[in-house]
Amino acid sequence: MRCSIKAASAPNSLEAINLSVSEATGCDYCLAAHTLMAKKAGFSSEQIHALRRGEYAEEMQLDALVKFAQTLVTTTGTLPEADVAALRNAGFSDQQVIEIISAISAILFTNMVNRVNDTVVDFPKAD
């Protein structure tokens, strides 16, 4: 399942979402897969760990993106307007906010399927 965030100026936005959401949900399979993909995309181990924690001080858009993703999947109820405003302040349009939510939904679904099926991690596990 692949989504895209059209016109996002932050490179590798989708990998950032995948890492932060997979960490928040505890999906070992997706963490391993997306850690490998993030390394291939040029992220260092330190950057990958930061994205998994839901922070990325090096880039305002990626930082806002992973904070939003983790907040959305780890909280309940209506999201405070300030959380959406942080995305807009980082340069994301309303359309991109919807695309971001779609990408979060896609990886969340994949995380759940892998957790329910206890999918075997058949490549290096995330450190």
User: Is residue 4 a part of any domain in this protein?
Assistant: no
Q: Is the confidence at residue 8, as pLDDT, over 90? A: no
Domain of 91, in residue numbers: 13-117
- Residues 14-37: what's their mean pLDDT? 96
User: Is residue 122 a part of any domain in this protein?
Assistant: no
What pLDDT was estimated at residue 7? 45
User: Is residue 124 a part of any domain in this protein?
Assistant: no
What pLDDT was estimated at residue 4? 56
How far apart (Å, rounded) are the C-alpha atoms in residues 118 and 96?
32
Sorting pLDDT into bands at 50, 70 and 90, what band is 91?
very high
Provide the phi-psi class of 5: left if phi over 0, else alpha when psi is between -120 and 50, else beta: beta
What pLDDT was estimated at residue 107? 96
User: Is residue 8 a part of any domain in this protein?
Assistant: no
How far apart (Å, rounded) are the C-alpha atoms in residues 47 and 76?
28
- Residues 40-66: what's their mean pLDDT? 95
Closest among 8, 115, 110 to 66, alpha carbons compared: 8
- Residues 75-103: what's their mean pLDDT? 95
User: Is residue 32 a part of any domain in this protein?
Assistant: yes
> Exposure of 119 by Cβ count < 10 A (0-12 exposed, 13-18 middle, 19+ buried)?
middle
What pLDDT was estimated at residue 26? 96
Q: Is the confidence at residue 110, as pLDDT, over 80? A: yes
Q: Is the confidence at residue 116, as pLDDT, over 50? A: yes
pTM greater than the 0.75 cutoff: yes
| Domain at 59, CATH number | 1.20.1290.10
Q: Is the confidence at residue 97, as pLDDT, over 90? A: yes
- Domain tally for the chain? 1
